[in-house]
Chains A and B, each alone.
Chain A
Amino acid sequence: QITLKESGPALVKPTQTLTLTCSFSGFSLTTTGVGVGWIRQPPGKALEWLAVIYWDDDPRYNSSLKTRLTITKDTSKNQVVLTMTNMDPVDTATYYCAHRFNLVPGDVFDVWGQGTMVSVS
């Protein structure tokens, strides 16, 4: 059974760097085709993809946020870490990590964490 869980601060100040950790089980990020992504959702708004990292350590980023994001993996700990610099109140959102669905060639997410709410104030 695949599970993911996000952790990190609930509150950050403007200009600070946010660090979020996704801890997962039920799969390995060393297996070909596997990936973990981050998606966020401001209160009452739509989903926004942030980043994804694959088994081969290749990261991909949302072009509009690329300069602020870094995604890394620690396969020994079964964790994926997302950092976002220069936080602003508009970055207030629920942040989700999710497992990449490996039946398609692109990035579709079939199992999601519960999400973690981050407020910037």
Chain B
Amino acid sequence: DIQMTQSPSSLSASVGDRVTITCQASQDIGNYLSWYQQKPGKAPNLLIYDASRLKTGVPSRFAGSGSGTDFTFTITSLQPEDFATYYCQQYDHFLSFGGGTKVEIK
């Protein structure tokens, strides 16, 4: 099974900050990686697929990059509605999620 390791597990940031989250796969997954946002009490919301493609309607301040085993998720200018938990997910071999990164208000 492919293990996904996200870091950090949590971070504190201010509105307007640039935020970066990393996700590492236990083996090469090409670009078969997606990112989700989840707010408390709500279902996850797909933001990015194929490592860097934004789902239609997702703001351009969200970005993804990487391939192989190392991936990055960036929010270029954090907005109040972006405080949430973010998960990476690989879909190269079945599927598995990272442990999540909680983005909190500083």
Contacts and interface: CB of A to CB of B under 8 A. Distances in A.
Interface string A61-97: 0111000000000000000000000000000000010
B1 interface: yes
B49 A108 contact: yes
A74 B99 CA distance: 33
Interface residues of A, number: 25
A112 B97 contact: no
Contacts, number: 61
A49 B55 CA distance: 21
At the interface, is chain A mostly helix, strand, loop or mixed?
loop
Interface residues of B, number: 23
A2 interface: no
B43 A106 contact: no
A39 B36 CA distance: 13
Nearest to B90: A106
Contact of B91 (A48, A64, A108): A108
A101 B49 contact: yes
A36 to B, nearest CB: 13
Contacts of B38: 47
Interface in B52-106: 55, 87, 89, 91-92, 94-100
Contacts of A39: 44, 97
Nearest to A6: B43
B19 interface: no
A48 B95 contact: no
